[in-house]
Amino acid sequence: MKELVVISGKGGTGKTSLTASFAALAPNAAFADGDVDAADLHLLLAPAVRRREEFRSGHAAVLRADDCVGCGRCAALCRFEAIAPATRPGDGARVFAVDPGACEGCGVCVWNCPVRAIDFPERVCGEWFVSATRFGSLVHARLHPGAENSGKLVSLVREQAREIAKQERRDLVIVDGPPGTGCPVIAALTGASGVLVVTEPTVSGAHDLARVLELTGHFKIPTAVCINKWDLNPEQADGIEAAARAAGATPVGRVRYDKAATRAQRLGQTVVEAGPDSLADEIRAVWKNWIGTVAP
């Protein structure tokens, strides 16, 4: 089974729109939305949720006010200033309370409370889902606002998608990866069969692409490059393709700027469904060329 990941140097390059079209073109695939910090593949694939699970990562201090004797030791030790004085409802006693948004889960207060009044449960950071779509199964997730560890959630989403692909005898997993070069991207790339970097013909697009290609080169993953909206700056597009080749990546096609792509998004469709055919053909060519660069 092959696993193909679509990434970009930054958000807003059309990565998800292209990934959704690839989902429509792949005959026997399962899908994963690995862009867990800004998941939106579901907007185009209209998933019907079949399974929903909590995503837990790290721990959080939960202070039991009824057992607290108000010594203040925990607040004095917390380096993140996450514990403050409070009044106990009922008897009005001076106790302490944890701000869950400020708690970093280090555990110092838990181990130092003289009366063991602080619990330390796993932190629920979001949810992940297995859904049915018109193209096949999709694993996607939602991180709670402010929650961290999205790299761990990306790995989980990929792992679940591979598991489902195995169960359903799919020969391919297509992952909509996160943008950038941080931990979530590394989590999306590691062990992938091939990567497509979607970029735009701008100075910042060229700069971001160079950083991403360093990363994929480091992990020795076969890397293809697609320039979206190439006709906005054909010279820059030429330069980006030359730089991609020099970095060992393979340019696999260009997709022109067309308002039809936005119209398709508004309709909740992929471009290959909504058309026009000429634009859909450009995406088909990118897909075919990309698949051709990945070892069987």
Q: What residue ranges bind ligand SF4 (CB under 6 A)?
A: 61, 63, 68-74, 78, 80, 82-83, 96, 98, 103-109, 113, 115, 117-118
Question: Would you say 229 and 40 are in contact if contact means Cβ atoms under 8 Å apart?
Answer: no
61 or 172, CB closer to ligand SF4? 61
Minimal distance in Å, beta carbon 103 to ligand SF4?
3
Q: What angle (nearest 5°) sits at the alpha carbon of residue 9, between those of residues 204 and 137?
A: 150
Q: At its nearest, how many Å lie between ligand SF4 and the CB of residue 238?
A: 52
| Residue number, 70 or 275, with CB nearest to ligand SF4 | 70
Identify the DSSP state of 162: H
Smallest gap from Cβ 223 to ligand SF4, in A, equals 40
What count of other Cβ atoms lies within 10 Å of the Cβ of residue 142? 18
Structure-block tokens of residue 262: 């936005």
Nearest to ligand SF4 of 73, 256 (CB atom): 73
Smallest gap from Cβ 149 to ligand SF4, in A, equals: 15
Nearer to ligand SF4, 68 or 224 (CB): 68
- Give yes or no for a contact between 177 and 168, defined as CB atoms under 8 angstroms apart: no
CA distances from 175 to 91, 142, 184 (A): 55, 16, 13
Q: Alpha carbon of 279 to those of 18, 19, 21, 208, 223: distances in Å?
A: 11, 15, 11, 25, 23
Alpha-carbon span 94 to 124, nearest angstrom:
29
Q: Which is nearer to ligand SF4, 99 or 214 (CB)?
A: 99
Dihedral-angle region of residue 275 (phi above 0 means left; psi in -120 to 50 means alpha; beta otherwise): left
Nearer to ligand SF4, 1 or 102 (CB): 102
Q: Enter the tokens of residue 44.
A: 């185009």
Nearer to ligand SF4, 149 or 155 (CB): 149
Q: Closest distance between ligand SF4 and the C-beta of residue 102, in Å?
A: 7
Answer whether 8's CB lies under 8 Å from 199's CB. yes
Could you tell me the smallest distance in angstroms from the CB atom of residue 154 to ligand SF4? Answer: 25
3-class secondary-structure state, position 51: strand
- Shortest Cβ 56–ligand SF4 spacing (Å): 16
